[in-house]
């Protein structure tokens, strides 16, 4: 298969089932500061940056200058958790291997910290097969802005129309579509109805093959531009 195609993976919810480790790391950080964070409170923070979450829950109890250090502590706790028990998404390693063997260029596009992305790829055992990694340190605008995916395509040297994105969140699907890429949604974080804007919705990474992704990219590129 041609190397003229690329797949860009989101990380959280696509390569790693990170829901529980993120919740546990927030719960641990809160406990260190004498606060209890419930799972309902955690769920209410989806889509917000860590620093916004800290400012929201700690408010006047801390000096704003403390927020960056608390943010770093939270992410360190998260990495400690996944190092002890890495929850790989089913089929992630196998799909990366199959795409690599088929000649696809591969990237990750995440809003997470570089250390989290690097550790995830290392623990997955596939960091050597990812040709470009774009993290929160590389972008000024988060999803649904397409910046993260456009940077990935540029670093891979592949036209956006020849790329597919695998995402688990509506904002990520919107970003992929805005970038002019084929958008593949993986259910879990959101249900199929919430991901209906995707070109393809799957319930497992095992449902994807290099041929299926290549066909989707060609079909998407052949459509007239949306007005």
Boundary residue ending a domain (84, 107, 130): 84
pLDDT digits (tens, 9 = 90+) for 45-75: 876 778 888 988 888 888 999 999 999 999 9
Q: What share of the chain is helix, strand, coil (3-state, %, to 5)?
A: 50, 10, 35
Average pLDDT of the residues in 86-111? 97
State yes or no: pLDDT of 208 exceeds 90. Answer: yes
Return the pLDDT at 3. 57
> Which of the following is catalytic: 10, 17, 71, 168?
10
The verdict on 114 and 216 lying in the same domain is yes
Range of the domain at 31: 19-84
Judgement on whether residues 179 and 116 belong to the same structural domain of the protein: yes
pTM of the model: 0.92
Residues 205 and 154 in one domain: yes
Q: Is the pLDDT of residue 78 over 60?
A: yes
Among 84, 111, 141, the domain-final residue is 84
Q: Tell me, what's the pLDDT at 16?
A: 97
215 with 113, same domain?
Answer: yes
Q: Is residue 172 part of a domain?
A: yes
12 catalytically annotated: yes
Pick the more confident residue, 214 or 226: 214
Boundary of a domain, candidates 63, 84, 105: 84
pLDDT of amino acid 124? 98
CATH number (domain holding residue 137): 3.40.50.1000
Measured in whole angstroms, how far is the alpha carbon of residue 208 from the centre of its chain? Answer: 17
What was the pLDDT predicted at 1?
Answer: 55
**17 catalytic residue (yes or no):** no
Per DSSP, the residues of 80-136 read HHHHHS--BPTTHHHHHHHHHHTT-EEEEE-SS-HHHHHHHHHHHT-GGG-SEEE-T
**Same domain membership, residue 200 and residue 139:** yes
pLDDT at 226: 57
- The stretch 155-179 carries a mean pLDDT of 96
Distance CA 188, CA 89 (A): 11
pLDDT at site 179: 97
Residue 184 C-beta-side C-alpha neighbours within 13 Å:
26
* pLDDT tens digit sequence for 17-42: 999 999 999 999 999 998 899 999 99
Same-domain check for residues 101 and 117: yes
| 1 falls within a domain | no
Q: Please check the confidence at residue 198 and state whether its pLDDT lies above 90.
A: yes
pLDDT for 225: 62
* Same domain flag for 67 and 127: no
Q: Is 17 helix (H, G, I), strand (E, B) or coil?
A: coil
Split into its structural domains, the chain has a count of 2
Q: Are 29 and 129 in contact (CB under 8 A)?
A: no
């Amino acid at each position: 298969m041609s190397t003229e195609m690329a797949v860009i993976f989101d990380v959280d919810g696509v390569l790693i089932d990170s829901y529980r480790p993120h919740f546990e790391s927030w719960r641990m950080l809160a406990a260190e500061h004498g606060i209890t964070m419930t799972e309902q409170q955690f769920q209410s923070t989806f889509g917000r940056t860590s620093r916004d979450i800290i400012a929201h829950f700690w408010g006047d109890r801390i000096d704003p200058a403390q927020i960056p250090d608390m943010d770093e502590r939270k992410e360190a706790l998260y990495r400690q958790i996944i190092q002890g028990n890495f929850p790989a998404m089913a089929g992630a390693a196998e799909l990366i291997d199959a795409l690599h063997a088929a000649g696809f260029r591969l990237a990750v596009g995440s809003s997470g910290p570089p250390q989290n992305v690097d550790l995830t790829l290392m623990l997955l055992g596939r960091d050597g097969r990812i040709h470009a990694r774009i993290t929160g340190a590389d972008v000024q605008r988060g999803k649904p802005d397409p910046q993260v995916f456009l940077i990935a395509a540029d670093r891979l040297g592949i036209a956006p129309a020849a790329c597919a994105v695998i995402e688990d969140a509506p904002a990520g699907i919107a970003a992929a579509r805005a970038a002019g890429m084929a958008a593949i949604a993986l259910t879990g974080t959101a249900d199929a109805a919430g991901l209906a804007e995707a070109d393809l919705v799957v319930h497992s990474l095992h449902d994807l093959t290099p041929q299926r992704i290549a066909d989707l990219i060609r079909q998407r590129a052949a459509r007239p531009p949306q007005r």
